[in-house]
Amino acid sequence: MTTTRFAPSPTGRLHVGNIRTALHNWMLARQAGGTFILRIDDTDAERSREEYVEAIRADLTWLGLGWDREERQSARLDRYEAAFEALRAAGRIYPCYESAQELDVKRKIQLSRGLPPIYDRAALTMTDEARAAKEAEGIQPHWRFLLDHDEPIRWEDGIRGTQKFDPAQLSDPVVRRADGSWLYMMPSAVDDIDMCVTQVLRGEDHVSNTAVQIQIFTALHAAGFAAADGAAKTLPAFAHEALLVGREGKLSKRLGSLACDALQERGIEPEAIIALLARLGTSQPVEPIVDRAQLIAGFDLATFGRAPAKFDEDDLERINAGIVHQLPYEAVAPRLPKGMDAAGWHVVRPNLAHVAEAAEWWRLVTGPIGQREFADDDRAFLAEAARMLAWGEEPWAALTAALKETTGRKGRALFLPLRQALTGMDHGPDMSELLPLIGETEARARLTRAAD
């Protein structure tokens, strides 16, 4: 049974970067008929906000990425305590007393000697007396996970292929702060075990976290922690996606404008975001595909490239227009101008880049339209058109055929003045569909006014 999770920290709105992670995890789960978990990573009480938890739910709902189960790290602190105790009893967690400043000095010295800034494990060799002295000074320890340096850490990454890390090149990660609060590293592994997550798919900024977390998983299993009822006994499969980049490099500076709410305000359809992000960075073509089943069926980690995926807002606009041209009336009805029916939507739809523009085009039907000054010969032609206008099955075809016959005009000279007189514009919706919506009386009035 496939189980995936999307684990946002509620410290801001979702943006294209994390929407992409959410989407791909959702697609993996839906493709396999599995479970998609929304896990709120809110152990950082200072930065987490309830309003963002609600915004994340609202954004995912708007995007149509429904989740089967919701979990919150802040409700699971007893599990982290149990895991911590199990690892501590197994000798895999140790107390450290260095201040942030001391650690900083150590790092600077290492770097100045050309060495990697890896924690030197000084706390491991502290005597009981030295520890007691620190505590007598009122210094509480923070806690590190002891990496096992014996074996390289390996995994078969679903996107990056075989990954190999030398654990000696990594610092023992701090898993718990001196005030007792949790850092990301251990709770995430505990959750993945408890929630039987089978596939962890996330950005490549997490690759080195995966190396550490594989050791945490293994240590928890060895400590008997994973023997708890319903806990996964095996490691999840890991895959790390190349990050998104903008046209000018990093996306991070522009993430505000690429947040879900900003995109929604700009008139971007959820289906456009989904269609673009489903395939961006893969070998499959990005197309305005409305049918999610099609996107899900074709989703395959093997098609993902290792190069950063270019996110281009022009692509998003292009896909959005392509999606709008396909949206059925029912999907947009509440957002359309008053009085606009399915026929009206059908007529204006091909001209829209955003649904909201329907109002501008609908004014061509309801009026008033802008009128221009026509040259004498065009005025005579339009007066003839007003006389010949007859209302039947296909009024536009009938009108243009009759005018061609009587005036000898054809092509642009025939069609353009009619369009201009009837809509006030040089381009726009298909006239054969538009004219019936304008109606006979109004159409004749417009032609007569133009001929005046």
Q: Which residues bind ligand GLU (CB under 6 A)?
A: 7-9, 41, 188, 202, 206
Which two structure tokens, joined as six digits, stand for 160?
């990056």
For residues 3 and 320, which CB has a smaller minimum distance to ligand GLU in the complex? 3
Closest approach of ligand GLU to the CB of residue 79, in Å: 16
Closest approach of ligand GLU to the CB of residue 190, in Å: 12
For residues 9 and 366, which CB has a smaller minimum distance to ligand GLU in the complex? 9
Closest approach of ligand GLU to the CB of residue 270, in Å: 21
Cβ–Cβ < 8 Å for 36, 296: no
For residues 8 and 428, which CB has a smaller minimum distance to ligand GLU in the complex? 8
Closest approach of ligand GLU to the CB of residue 202, in Å: 4
Closest approach of ligand GLU to the CB of residue 41, in Å: 4
Cβ–Cβ < 8 Å for 145, 87: yes
CA angle (55 as vertex; 265, 338 as ends), nearest 5: 40
For residues 7 and 16, which CB has a smaller minimum distance to ligand GLU in the complex? 7
Q: How far apart are CA 418 and CA 384, in angstroms?
A: 11
State the residue number with the nearest CB to ligand GLU.
41
For residues 30 and 202, which CB has a smaller minimum distance to ligand GLU in the complex? 202
Closest approach of ligand GLU to the CB of residue 188, in Å: 5
For residues 47 and 335, which CB has a smaller minimum distance to ligand GLU in the complex? 47
Q: How far apart are CA 323 and CA 288, in angstroms?
A: 5
Closest approach of ligand GLU to the CB of residue 299, in Å: 18
Closest approach of ligand GLU to the CB of residue 287, in Å: 28
Closest approach of ligand GLU to the CB of residue 187, in Å: 10
For residues 8 and 429, which CB has a smaller minimum distance to ligand GLU in the complex? 8
Closest approach of ligand GLU to the CB of residue 243, in Å: 12
For residues 24 and 202, which CB has a smaller minimum distance to ligand GLU in the complex? 202
Helix H, strand E, coil C: the string for the chain is: CCEEEECCCCCCCCEHHHHHHHHHHHHHHHHHCCEEEEEECCCCCCCCCHHHHHHHHHHHHHHCCCCCEEEEHHHCHHHHHHHHHHHHHCCCEEEECCCHHHHHHHHHHHHHCCCCCCCCCHHHHCCHHHHHHHHHCCCCCEEEECCCCCCCEEEEECCCEEEEECHHHCCCCEEECCCCCECCHHHHHHHHHHCCCCEEEEEHHHHHHHHHHHHHHHHHHHCCHHHCCCCCCCCCEEEEECCEEECCEECHHHCCCCEHHHHHHCCCCHHHHHHHHHHCCECCCCCCCCCHHHHHHHCCHHHECCCCEECCHHHHHHHHHHHHCCCCHHHHHHHCCCCCCHHHHHHHHHHCCCHHHHHHHHHHHHCCCCCCCCCHHHHHHHHHHHHHCCCCCCHHHHHHHHHHHHHCCCHHHHHHHHHHHHHCCCCCCCHHHHHHHHCHHHHHHHHHHHHC
For residues 18 and 320, which CB has a smaller minimum distance to ligand GLU in the complex? 18
For residues 67 and 396, which CB has a smaller minimum distance to ligand GLU in the complex? 67
